[in-house]
Amino acid sequence: MLFFFASLYASSIVDQINQDPSSTWKAIDYPRDVMTTARFHALLGTKVPEWQPRKMQVRNDVPETFDAREQWPNQMLPVRNQGSCGSCWAFSISETVEDRLAVKGCARGQMSPQHLVSCDKEDYACNGGEMDIAWNWVKKNGIATEDCLPYTSGGGRVPECPAKCKNGSEIIVTPVPEWKLLKAEEMQQELMTHGPLSAGFTVYLDFQFYSKGVYKHKLGPKSGGHAILIIGWGVEKDTPYWLCQNSWGASWGMQGHFKILRGENHCGIEEMVTVGYVQCL
């Protein structure tokens, strides 16, 4: 009976969004193996500040569109799936580091979100994290590769912090000696120069149904905070957007990506944008 009412509620949200002529995005009621409301809530975990809408200063020294995947072809690594663990904060940081290593010319492949989930004891593993605390941990400890410490917490279990790589070899970390909280007006130039940005934002219930288009919150209560990658920007039907990479697998959204309104701090998307400055080994 509970499943019936949840499905009915989901269908109602999807129909309302898709039938709204002012909507800039399309919704879909995903199959249960892709997304459920319970899993949606389990995926969120980043602590984000309260947000207020505000206009971002328009820059005239950047292109109208930008996509890191086109700027650095075959360098940006594919969408991942955090499973049923609120480890988005760890994925956002590890993926920012791996992409920025590639841009710098010293790619090491995928970096390890598990390293943070298991070893950063000041954050909360599958129950979430805080981006400044997590970046400070990476600054102090560096971050291992996925090959060394593969992700195993997709089912919600968090193993102890390992002393060795999975194969028994020494853990060789990538140094990240500095990180920075960006101002909204710095985001585009930073992305074009050094690669993707880590961003946390406030998520509302309707976001789980996102399919395509430029997301603007329409319906449903606040669900929590989430962390993702910003990999580009553009304009769709006169609506400016940030192009973002999620960590919910390639079956959600636009093959794991989404667009969100740019320039108005919508859902706080321009409020908590951070980057790490990686160091080649």
8, pLDDT greater than 80 = no
Please give the full DSSP string across 171-193, using - where no structure is assigned. P-PBP--EEEEEPGGGHHHHHHH
Looking at residue 173, which CATH number applies to its domain? 3.90.70.10
The answer to whether residue 3 sits within a structural domain is no
pLDDT in tens, 64-81: 999 999 999 999 999 999
pLDDT in tens, 194-238: 999 999 999 999 999 999 999 999 999 999 999 999 999 999 999
The answer to whether residue 134 sits within a structural domain is yes
Residue 128: give the domain boundaries.
36-277
Known active-site residue 226: yes
Length of the chain (residues): 281
Closest CA to 97 of 42, 124, 134, 62: 134
Instruction: Return the DSSP state at 205.
Output: G
Known active-site residue 141: no
What is this structure's pTM?
0.95
pLDDT value of residue 11: 72
Q: Which of 119, 246, 257, 266 is catalytic?
A: 246
pLDDT in tens, 136-192: 999 999 999 999 999 999 999 999 999 999 999 999 999 999 999 999 999 999 999
Which residue is associated with the tokens 């149904």?
A: 209
Known active-site residue 246: yes
241, pLDDT greater than 90 = yes
Structure tokens at 201: 């934002």
2, pLDDT greater than 50 = no
The whole-angstrom separation of Cα 75 and Cα 219 is: 37
Q: What is the Cβ-side half-sphere exposure of residue 16, based on CA atoms within 13 angstroms?
A: 12
Closest CA to 228 of 188, 269, 186, 170: 269
The answer to whether residue 62 sits within a structural domain is yes
Q: Which of 88, 119, 148, 267 is catalytic?
A: 88
Which residue is associated with the tokens 């994290």?
A: 129
pLDDT value of residue 10: 64
The answer to whether residue 31 sits within a structural domain is no
The answer to whether residue 73 sits within a structural domain is yes
The answer to whether residue 7 sits within a structural domain is no
Q: Which of 226, 244, 257, 267 is catalytic?
A: 226
The answer to whether residue 56 sits within a structural domain is yes
The answer to whether residue 104 sits within a structural domain is yes
Domain tally, the chain: 1
Residue 49, sorted as left (phi over 0), alpha (psi -120 to 50) or beta, turns out to be beta
